[in-house]
């Protein structure tokens, strides 16, 4: 709610709570990160599918709702991570970055294995 007690139906940053917020006429308000609040506001969201060692071959792939989430998955399992068959969900820049980060991580793992 705004200071006057009226609802604000646009996403806004609540400085007191240090979070983003959006009010709705037909349901409770939503608080959280900007990406989450914007998705709730627009009734849509981002979806980035991928596979890793745990999801490869299963009916449903792993997924994230932000590119940062995809990077987390890559960092957790560089050898098993892939976006093969999901390329259309990623921009060329995102694909290039994922490829470069994965290659570098695997290179480091090989170097570390050689020094053990």
In a domain, 5, yes or no: no
Q: What is the pTM of this model?
A: 0.77
Which tokens belong to 97?
Answer: 């970055």
11-59 pLDDT, tens digit per residue, is 999 999 999 999 998 988 899 999 999 999 999 989 999 999 999 989 9
In a domain, 107, yes or no: yes
Do 72 and 107 lie in a common domain? Answer: yes
Do 76 and 21 lie in a common domain? Answer: no
Domain count, the chain: 2
85-109 pLDDT, tens digit per residue, is 999 999 999 999 999 999 999 999 9
- Burial string for 37-67 (b: 16+ CB within 10 Å, else e) reads bbbbbeeeeeebbbbbeebeeeeebbbbeeb
Full domain range(s) for residue 18: 12-42
pLDDT score at 8: 76
Do 23 and 79 lie in a common domain? Answer: no
Do 24 and 72 lie in a common domain? Answer: no
Residue range 52-78: mean pLDDT, rounded = 95
Residue range 71-84: mean pLDDT, rounded = 97
In a domain, 2, yes or no: no
């Amino acid at each position: 709610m705004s200071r006057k007690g009226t609802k604000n139906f646009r996403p806004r940053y609540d400085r007191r709570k240090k979070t983003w917020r959006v009010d709705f006429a037909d349901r409770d308000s939503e608080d959280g990160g900007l990406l989450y609040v914007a998705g709730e506001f627009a009734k849509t969201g981002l979806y980035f599918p991928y596979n890793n060692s745990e999801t490869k071959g299963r009916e449903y792939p792993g997924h994230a709702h932000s590119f940062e989430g995809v990077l987390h998955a890559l960092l957790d399992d560089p050898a098993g991570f892939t976006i093969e068959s999901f390329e259309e969900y990623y921009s060329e820049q995102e694909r290039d970055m994922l490829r470069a980060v994965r290659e570098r991580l695997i290179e480091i793992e090989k170097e570390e294995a050689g020094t053990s």
